[in-house]
Amino acid sequence: MGLAAGLVFGLLLGACSGSTSPRVPGSRTAPGGSLLPATPTELPSFDLASFRSLLSELHGTPVVVNVWASWCGPCKTEGPLLAKLAREYQGRVQFLGVDIQDARPAARSFIQTYGWTYPSVFDESGAIRDGLGFIGQPVTVVYDGNGKQVHVFPGVITTEDVRQQLDSVLRA
């Protein structure tokens, strides 16, 4: 079977499986077929397309995306602030980390150190950050429930600034 025929066969087989959720290469999906990692320290590998699929899956819920790395000094500064905000908005806003250019053991330790209760995805090359048009980290992006990007915070966040954006999104 040629490569093209094999790809077509694989796509048809996947389409006939009854699964409606896209699969993330090299990772498990959470219970129920969701792309959202099941635990904060799972750190499945994502590329830009998979990340965009996850954001689409979260449609209807405001989302805060934070691009970070365990070796990033400013990320360490905002780590406790993000943990606090995620607890404060739990059940109303989905927080999601994008760990870039990192090593999983160091990233997992970072997540545990700051007590993050929300999941992150692993982007070894930084392709998600780059594909979203950002340079450096940390960067924090607020999306409304319709998936529209409403604010970008380059650098270290303040809890007051993020609260203001989230409260505005939740009132809308």
The residue with greater pLDDT, 11 or 147, is 147
| Closest of 97, 89, 71 to residue 169, by C-alpha | 89
Catalytic residue from among 58, 69, 75, 107: 75
Domains belonging to the chain, first-starting first, are 32-171 (3.40.30.10)
Other Cβ atoms closer than 10 A to 20: 7
Residue 23 pLDDT: 33
pLDDT tens by residue, 40-53: 999 999 999 999 99
| Residue 33 DSSP one-character state | G
Residue 16: active-site member = no
Catalytic residue from among 24, 35, 54, 72: 72
Q: Residue 48 burial (CB < 10 Å; 0-12/13-18/19+)? A: middle
pTM > 0.85: yes or no? no
CA quadruple 116, 118, 123, 128: dihedral positive or negative?
negative
pLDDT tens by residue, 56-112: 999 999 999 999 999 999 999 999 999 999 999 999 999 999 999 999 999 999 999
